[in-house]
Amino acid sequence: MRTLAFYNLKGGVGKTAAAVNLAWCAARDGLATCLWDLDPQGAASWYLRDTTGLDIKAKKLLKGKDTLASQSRPTELPGLDLIPADTTYRHLDRLFDDNDAPREVLAQLVKPLAARYDLLVLDCPPSFSRLSENVFTLADAVAVPLIPTPLSVRAFSQVMEFLAQKRLAEGRLFPFFSMVDKRRGLHRQWLDAPPQDLPNLLGAYVPYASVVEQMGQHQSPVTQFAAHSPAAAAYQALWEELRVHLDFN
Ligand SMILES: Nc1ncnc2c1ncn2[C@@H]1O[C@H](COP(=O)(O)OP(=O)(O)O)[C@@H](O)[C@H]1O
Ligand SMILES: [Mg+2]
Whole-number pLDDT of residue 60: 86
Whole-number pLDDT of residue 170: 75
Closest CA to 176 of 249, 235, 128: 235
Q: Is 13 in the pocket of ligand 1 (CB under 6 A)?
A: yes
Q: Is 16 in the pocket of ligand 1 (CB under 6 A)?
A: yes
**Ligand 2 center–CA 244 separation, angstroms:** 24
The residue whose C-alpha atom lies closest to atom 5 belonging to ligand 1 is 213
Total domains present in the chain: 1
The residue whose C-alpha atom lies closest to atom 15 belonging to ligand 1 is 14
Whole-number pLDDT of residue 127: 87
Is 35 buried (19+), middle (13-18) or exposed (0-12) by CB count in 10 A? buried
CATH number, domain with residue 171: 3.40.50.300
**Ligand 2 center–CA 10 separation, angstroms:** 9
**Ligand 2 center–CA 11 separation, angstroms:** 7
Containing structural domain, residue 240: 2-245
Q: Is 30 in the pocket of ligand 1 (CB under 6 A)?
A: no
Closest CA to 127 of 62, 42, 202, 38: 38
**Ligand 2 center–CA 184 separation, angstroms:** 25
> Do the Cβ atoms of 35 and 82 come closer than 8 Å?
yes
**Ligand 1 center–CA 29 separation, angstroms:** 24
Whole-number pLDDT of residue 16: 98
The contacts of residue 227 (CB under 8 Å, 6+ apart) are none
Whole-model pTM?
0.97
Q: Which residues surround ligand 2, an ion (CB under 5 A)?
A: 15-16, 43
Q: With a cut of 50, list the residues of the chain below it in pLDDT.
A: none
Whole-number pLDDT of residue 79: 98
Whole-number pLDDT of residue 31: 98
